[in-house]
Amino acid sequence: MRSLRILRLTMSQILILGIETSCDETAAAIVADGRRILSNVVASQVDLHARYGGVFPELASRVHVEAIVPVVQEAMTQAGVGWGDLAAVAVTVGPGLVGSLLVGINFAKGLALGRGLPLVPVNHLEAHLYANWLQSDTEGAAPSDLTFPLLVLIVSGGHTELVLMRGHGDYLCLGSTLDDAAGEAFDKVGRLLGLPYPGGPSIEKAAQSGDPTRFRLPRAWLEGTYDFSFSGLKTAVARLVQEQDPDLRFVPDIAAAFQEAVVDVLATKTVAAAREYGATAILLSGGVSANQALRTAVRQRASVPVYYPPLFLCTDNAAMVAACGYFRYRAGVRAGWDLDADPNLRLC
């Protein structure tokens, strides 16, 4: 086993342990040189929170406490590395649920202090975009020679952001959601339609057999900005559901109309921003970037290449934290032992 580890380290000199506990996934990963995944372990709480129709914060943090040690140990075992092989520990510090964040941060601080390793703080939103830097042979994976500037759409349960990435650590925020994030809207509409949590995959599945033209739903274009708003769309769906017969035959059609409305706004604004700011490519990231309708719409409308991570790297994971941590580590970013959670942390 030791000989295998030496072979790996001669190929890649910088190994980062990433830790992610911003919401309801307890995750740890080892990534080499910001690109090569040696291990990626995720303990999901989706089934646990499904009964509430969303994440129950106190319960989430309690489960993180129980899962963090075995998850990190499994990541180290799968990677076949020892503590002395690591260059640093990278941990998500925000945004997210404060109780969940604190579990990961305090564990990472104790580990880094005990093992004499640098501690690197990572912004969860920044980590999502760095999922595109991880090596993958899947369709849509970004090449290793990406050139700046890049237009990044971050779409998840809590965030919808359009960001111009001018270099590593150099961001210009162009727009964000004014109310519900896209993923949050999917979850809420999923509940209105009686679909299982999480709403994103359930609505996408239902929409496959639906007619998006049967119902016309509004789009909040917010002309002159790259901001987003989905609360009005959610309200329109709620009223539409109340007007329908209780036989549920309308569900696929409303799901299809809702998905098309969200995708239309996201794709239109993303492509327009890429054109205005001269982006060399578009990167999709975050849980909603797994939506096939969104991927297709952006690809069809864009005049530059469009890239997105494989499905297992779209949702929260620690490999993206480690990848981001690598670039922050190389830039000399270090955290002190007073590092604290910032649940409202912004990217720029």
- Encode pLDDT of 290-315 as tens digits: 999 999 999 999 999 999 999 999 99
Residue 249 has pLDDT above 90, yes or no: no
Token duo for residue 4:
């295998």
pLDDT (0 to 100) of residue 244: 85
Q: Could you count the other beta carbons within 10 Å of the beta carbon of residue 293?
A: 20
Q: What share of the chain is helix, strand, coil (3-state, %, to 5)?
A: 45, 20, 35
Q: What percent of the chain is modeled with pLDDT above 70?
A: 93
Write the pLDDT tens digit of every residue in 103-142.
999 999 999 999 999 999 999 999 999 999 999 999 999 9
- Parallel, antiparallel, or unpaired for β 15-20 and 88-94? parallel
In this structure, are residues 130 and 324 in contact, taking their beta carbons and an 8 Å threshold? yes
Q: What is the dihedral of CA 304, 178, 347, 41, to 10 degrees?
A: -80
Instruction: Looking at the structure, give the CATH architecture of the domain made up of residues 2-135+314-330.
Output: 2-Layer Sandwich (3.30)
What is the pTM (predicted TM-score) of this model?
0.93
DSSP H helices in 116-216: 124-130, 182-192, 199-207
CATH 3.30.420.40 domain span(s) along the chain? 2-135+314-330, 150-308
pLDDT band with cut points at 50, 70 and 90 for residue 3: very low
pLDDT (0 to 100) of residue 52: 64
Of the candidates 148, 117, 113, 116, the one whose C-alpha atom is nearest the C-alpha of residue 132 is 148
CA distance 154 to 327: 19
Fill in the DSSP letter of residue 117. Answer: -
Q: How confident is the model over 47-73, as a mean pLDDT?
A: 82
Q: What percent of the chain is modeled with pLDDT above 90?
A: 87
pLDDT band with cut points at 50, 70 and 90 for residue 5: very low
For 313, residues 6+ apart whose C-beta sits below 8 A from its C-beta are 131, 134, 136, 319, 320
Token duo for residue 288:
């909603």
pLDDT (0 to 100) of residue 116: 98
Residue 4 has pLDDT above 90, yes or no: no
pLDDT (0 to 100) of residue 49: 60
CA distance 235 to 251: 16
* Alpha-carbon separation of residue 190 from 49, 185, 234, 261, 315 (angstroms): 15, 8, 10, 15, 18
CATH number attached to the domain at 150-308: 3.30.420.40
Instruction: Name the average pLDDT for the chain.
Output: 93
Q: What is the dihedral of CA 281, 286, 290, 295, to 10 degrees?
A: -30
